[in-house]
Amino acid sequence: MTFTGWFVEQFGQGPGWFLANLALILAIAFPVMVGVALAVYADRKIWAAMQMRRGPNVVGPFGLLQTFADAAKLFLKETIIPTGASTGVFLLAPMISFTLALVVWAVMPFDAGLVLADLNVGLLYVFAVSSMGVYGIIMSGWASNSKYAFLGGLRSAAQMVSYEVSMGFILVSVMMYAQSLNLSDIVMSQKGNVLGILNGNIFNPLLFPMGIMFFITALAETNRPPFDLPEAEAELVAGYQVEYSSMSFALFFLGEYANILFMCALIPTLFLGGWLPPLDWAPLYLIPGFVWFLVKMAFMFFVFAWVKAT
């Protein structure tokens, strides 16, 4: 019996379908939001360590609750809409960016069989959803009725669309090697594919350059330094986010970090063997696959923060 089928059997056709889909939405949203909160804390701690500072250290043990305190502060603030702004589009833009940042996680496999939607065209789904993210940004820049926000939105749109071309070519190369668009199949295609013992496309001389280029493309797609022109503080104050406050700003912030975490998960999936250990050696498989996946994801996030801090 399927997950949705169980709910339909228990609660009837209409309520069962609604509850099943609500449960799936929460299964994506809650872990991602917790991950974003921890990622913001880790980001700030890494920057602080590299700049010989202490970072967040007041709210909660070791400052762990600082992100939640910031979220509560934003939640309690007033939503200010600029004079002359297109109210509907202004409020809709952060919702679009946040929603797209969540739904893309549906096809991410954390372990063998541990995936919400194991689509046969998962890679195409990722590329399509990530391409739509530019709409929320350009809508926010236009609807704010601010020159700073508009220029930031145009810069971001130009940068994201430009680097999607390189991303598309890289994804095609990985797809051709794996002979599949399914992310789980792509992970399994990396098992022992180099010298019969190394797991990961990054060890393949043909795909190693693709991995490096994909990392650079991921930095540009997420507007991380040195590709942070859309939010250049010296020129555009805060780019397309300059007129946003309270939860509208928080939605953009959450969506941005959710996208960063997704890129930190996609790189291991495509190039580092996903949930597979680095070596195709039996004792290493005693460690659960999702642990290997989270370790690789954390490593990539550290590299993202390292690039920004330096």
Of residues 152 and 128, which shows the higher confidence score? 128
What local confidence, expressed as pLDDT, does residue 297 receive? 94
Residue 264 lies in a domain: yes
Residue 11 lies in a domain: no
Mean pLDDT across the chain, nearest whole number?
Answer: 87
What local confidence, expressed as pLDDT, does residue 2 receive? 66
Residue 177 lies in a domain: yes
Residue 197 lies in a domain: yes
Residue 192 lies in a domain: yes
Total domain count for the chain?
1
Contact 38, 217 (CB under 8 A): no
What pLDDT band is residue 216 in, cutting at 50, 70 and 90?
very high
Containing structural domain, residue 288: 81-309
Residue 123 lies in a domain: yes
Strand partners, 114: 111
Instruction: Give the model confidence (pLDDT) of 5-59 as tens digits.
Output: 777 888 888 888 888 878 888 888 888 888 998 999 999 999 899 988 888 888 8
Instruction: Give the model confidence (pLDDT) of 282-293 as tens digits.
Output: 899 899 999 999
Residue 34 lies in a domain: no
Residue 247 lies in a domain: yes
- Picking from 124, 105, 123, 125, the residue whose alpha carbon sits closest to that of residue 115 is 105
